[in-house]
Structure formats: structure tokens, C-alpha cells
Amino acid sequence: MRNSQSKQESKLRYHCVTQLFSEFDNSPLQLINDSHIHAKQVQLTIKRDDLIHSIISGNKWRKLKYLLLSIENLKYKRIAAMGGPYSNFLHALSYVCYLLGWQCQLYVRGYRDQPLTPTLKDCLKWNATIIFVNRVSFREMRMNKPLLADDIYWIKEGGQHELAIPGISEIFSELSDEYDHVLIASATGTSVAGLVVGARKYQPKAKITGISVLNNHQQQISDVNNMIDSRNNNWAIRTGFEFGGFAKKTQALIDFTQQFILRNEIPIEPVYSAKSFFATFELIEKGIIQSGSNVLLIHCGGLQGVRCNSSNV
């Protein structure tokens, strides 16, 4: 059974990055029918980027698309990246490398003797190598990459790279309606930067809002400013919806997540997507997003947070 499965999976491998593109299509839009939203005379639409791919979903694929092409052109076939034990990005990257036959080396925040998360078990199944680093070393790695062989390409946490921006910006090329507000969960600011660039080209009147899911909004603002010329642009990083910080949650967030899934049949998880969904509903309820607005909320995909049993990863 195992050998048969391995043979079947080996047929999925691709010889070059462009062959991967056939697996992806534009994500659909889903209008939210909610009495509270209607009462505020707001139209809320979800861009279902979670449906782009079952594993390489949402902004993970959009971040990787042009970066992978560049890595291939530079003749690299060994990749190293960093992230947490439930990282959606590491999960997607490991699978991409598996499909391409590239070597993947993951620097994961944690300790060697800790139980492997379901996310990391998947990464190992896809032949990734996992190197655990403590929190201090992990923070230092954000500023200075580890010592690597010359033939290993380093990717920053969360796929933060200037080549992630054109992939994210393509969201606007898939839209036919005009939107007053476009919102997305934000951890590094990379997706926000891409949306700002896309809006500048396609919908300059749209306000871009990143919902900060961790307590680092000042760093996100700085990173957006460093990645793009964002001066005098209509964008913001919204705070107040971190629920204590990364991977932390409250009963209010848990209740909202469960109720939203039940009413709309859209999967969300409490680490990333649920926080941006909660924020969007509250901003509409409080009138911060004004009556009459046409609102697009981007589901950033990646549901590894569903597999997270701890409130403090």
C-alpha cells in the first residue's frame, strides 16, 4: 500500500515551475448573506483564495509563484526557510519542493524532543529536513540568515520577498467589481504591500487594510514601507484583533469562528483567517466601514491553525 502510494505520488512531480501553474485557477467570490451586514447596508464578498489549491492555498501560492520562477532561473534546487511548527507557508513550501524534486530545509521554532505537529509530519512526508531552533536563535534568524551552503536559496519567514508582491497584486486582475475596502489577515505585511500595488493599478480608490494577527504592527508598517513606495497610499495595518498575539485566542473568537462556519460553510481557523473575519464584521458593525460600502475580504487560505490544539504555540 505504501509503495503503491509512493509511486502514485511520484507521478505528480513536475520538471519545471511553469508546469505547476496548471494546478491553479482564479479563486471564486462568495457573497455573505448576513442580517447584521445587511442592516448596515454593506455588501461583503469573500475572495475564496482558500480554494486555489488544497495544500498550496491562498497567499502562500501567490507569494511563491514568481519567487519560484526566479529560484529556478538562478539554477537553485535547494531551499531553506524558517517558520513556526504550524506554519502554513512551510507546509505549502515543503509540498511545492516535493512536487519539483527540490531539497527543502526548514528552520522551525521549537526543540528537538518536542512532539511533531501534524504540519511538520506532513513536511517530513514530503522529504523536508527539519532543524529546530530556540526562540532566541529564531528571532536572530529574522535579521541574519543561518550559515548555508552557496547552493541553498534562503526564504524569509512567511515568504517575505519583493517577488511575492506581483503574485499578491494579481488578485485585482481577477475582479470585475469595484470595492471601497479590501481586507486581509497580516503577519509580515507582504500581502498588504502586494494589495497596495495591485490597487494602485486596478482600483486606486480602494482602501487596503491588513488585520494584524500578531503584536508586531509597527514592524509590519515598516516592512510595507521598505518593500514598496507606499507613501500617500490608501492603506493601513489595523490593530486590536490580535486576541493576545500569534496563535492565541479567546472564547469570543472561538464562538465567532464556529458560528461563522456554521452559517456560511466557509472554513476558517483562529490563528489567521478568523481574526480578519472577526475584525471585518466588527468594523462594519461599528460603522468604521461606512454604510453603503462594497467590501472585499480575502481568505488568505492555509488552515494549519485548525490542527493547532494549543492556544499558545
Q: What is the mean pLDDT of residues 35-51?
A: 96
The whole-number pLDDT of residue 232 equals 64
Give domain 60-159's CATH number out of 3.40.50.1100, 3.40.50.300, 3.40.50.150, 1.10.10.1100.
Answer: 3.40.50.1100
Q: What residues have CB less than 8 Å from 6, skipping those under 6 apart?
A: none
Given this model, what pLDDT does residue 169 score? 97
pLDDT at 255: 95
pLDDT tens digits for 99-123?
999 999 999 999 988 899 999 999 9
Span 158-184, mean pLDDT? 96
Distance of alpha carbon 303 from alpha carbon 86, whole angstroms: 9
CB 234 within 8 A of CB 223: no
Q: Tell me if domain 2-54+168-307 and domain 60-159 are identical in fold.
A: yes
| Residue 296 CA: distances (Å) to CA of 126, 213, 255, 281, 293 | 34, 18, 23, 12, 10
pLDDT in tens, 251-263: 999 999 999 999 9
- State residue 312's pLDDT score: 34
Which residues are CB-neighbours of 146 under 8 A, at least 6 positions away? 80, 107, 154
Give the per-residue pLDDT at 247.
77
313: its cell numbers: 504555540
For the cut 60, the answer to whether the pLDDT of residue 306 exceeds it is yes
C-alpha cell of 225? 514601507
Side chain identity at 124, as an amino acid letter?
A: L
What does the pLDDT average to over 157-184? 96
What predicted TM-score, i.e. pTM, was given to this entire model?
0.91
245-300 pLDDT, tens digit per residue, is 877 889 999 999 999 999 999 999 988 899 999 999 999 999 999 999 999 999 99
Please tell me the predicted confidence (pLDDT) of residue 308: 66
What residue has cell string 486582475? 173
Per-domain residue ranges of the chain? 2-54+168-307, 60-159
CATH second-level architecture of 2-54+168-307? 3-Layer(aba) Sandwich (3.40)
Instruction: Tell which wins on pLDDT, 306 or 184.
Output: 184
